[in-house]
Structure 1
């Protein structure tokens, strides 16, 4: 079984409900060293999905380069369109990707990918869209920019007002539809599984028959009450282990985990107001990885390394 540990490496201020064009900073990136044990103790590389604001900061970028050189990390791309140039006025932020003019979205992607290549010396080949906003336009554009693997799908979660990815296949990576003559992009969804598989489709079908407010509530709560996942911020330790067991039993071969870099800096996420809370998160990840390595053969890989493994 393969394990991907992906980090959204991004600016602060993202859990405030505001989407500023001038974010407060990227000091949180220095706290990524709390995850050095992932490679030092287990040999698992991280995939660092990096925003434009981080790529503009010398100290933050230097740290990512060290993690790549010393611990085998991959530096990928993470688009926050609300503060990635060009900063056009296309409506109140955050504007959904499918509501944005295609030429502006393409220009923002070009800014992000050019800045990452200039800063880190090689093009990014893995990607995650901010706010899980992987709409049709993003899917159309990614091959154009040389992306091999996307990790923007969170199965069984509902993004209000966003694309409906609730029924995204929640097992192993798969190939997205072809776009022109470009190589097909591999989709690597987060590992989140229905405890009873039939309930996901039944819930989605039932919810679509309900008025909007009820539909939104049903879909938004499903992942908390009827699913298990290996996401350490969203699920307790028992659920993380349960999800890994279910995945293996159902024939899955790839586990995909994620968290935000700012969740490692005390006070920059509602779930982690102090150092004690951050320390608990780090120990939770360490214990899960220890259990995972003892429960069966596991190999750590980066996102781009999954591309050749997709069916």
Structure 2
């Protein structure tokens, strides 16, 4: 992401953490409706029934001492049953409700239903701001507290997003996904984004964690981008153990590579690892990542193995509160 494209309240500044804070990990969950990921975007054809599986998932994480930052979108906050489930989640004292904007299902509506407009940052500034206000107000009404953390659906930040979030009182954004490029669909290009947390004025930016493993991992994002310009080069490099890109999510990410990446990152002094998953993955058939019961077992086994490794490495969980309190 080229910061020159973004109208910021001030240039980004690297975060310094309070002594003794790290290493930590956090888990932000995209709590959203189910919809057909392969179909054109629609306003109404979606469901929130998968939220029935959320209490069990929350219990698993709570037993391991893991706080969930639940980034909810409009169909979730508009569903009284989903809201009641999430009220019980935040009653654990460490989890918290944040916001996630899916513009195609979030009023007010004024944009065409096109792939490019599914990235909220492509909307006219006034419309993006109006949708964010609508979502923020709905969350505040449902939960009695304004959300402090945000992620753009489809990672769709744009030129005005950070300034708008700041004006609405948000404290943290987790929309940036280093190493990934969505420009072919009309979205942002994060392939050269800095993976380190930073401050953008009053807003703390905590990117999703993207790590690299393999004999050539020192080349990192730059080498990975270069390989992308050669047909099949990334796949060959991965199969040969030279370079693989690893996102910290159980969704389409092998546990072996993820464990290796986390072990290396902690050894190199990374202070905060940012994990994520989509709530509809808790029920088979709702995302490409969990298609059946076998995939769901793999999903849960992934977390069991990862949390065990993090514990052995001495990496503690960090709630949203703890992140905000320790970022200097």
TM-score bracket, normalised by the shorter chain, equals: 0.7 to 0.9
* Residue of 189, 198, 207 corresponding to 1:174: 198
1:302 aligns with 2:325: no
2:97 is the alignment partner of 1:75:
yes
Task: Report SS of the residue matched to 2:151.
Answer: strand
Question: What CA deviation, in whole Å up to 9, does each residue of 1:151-189 have, x standing for no partner?
Answer: 11111112132112112222x42212x3xxxxx211111
Cα offsets for 1:30-51 (capped at 9, x unmatched): 2112323444431111110000
Distance of 1:8 and 1:148 partners within structure 2: 18
Aligned residue number for residue 264 of structure 2: 246
Partner of 1:43: 65
RMSD: 2.6
**Structure-2 separation of matches of 1:221 and 1:97:** 35
Q: Distance in 1 between matches of 2:212 and 2:120?
A: 28
How far, CA to CA, are the matches of 2:237 and 2:299 in structure 1? Answer: 23
Q: Distance in 2 between matches of 1:165 and 1:306?
A: 23
Paired residues of 2:174 and 2:205 also in contact (CA < 8 A) = yes
Is the Cα contact below 8 Å between 2:101 and 2:120 reproduced in 1?
no
State the distance in 2 between where 1:28 and 1:226 align: 32
Residue 198 (str. 1) matches residue 219 (str. 2): yes
| Structure 1 stretches of 4+ moved >4 Å | 217-225
CA distance in 1, matches of 2:290, 2:113: 32
3-state DSSP of counterpart to 2:150? strand
Are residue 143 (structure 1) and residue 161 (structure 2) matched? no
Aligned with 1:244: secondary structure? helix
- The unaligned stretches of length 5 or more in structure 2 are 1-22
Aligned match of 1:181: none
Q: Deviations over 1:68-125 (max 9, x none)?
A: 1036311100000111001113452550334311111110000000000000000000
TM-score by length of 1: 0.87
How many matched pairs? 297
1:121 match? 144
- Partners of 2:73 and 2:102 within 8 A in 1: yes
Q: CA deviation at 1:310?
A: 3.1
Paired with 2:173 and 2:220, the residues of 1 have a C-alpha distance of 26
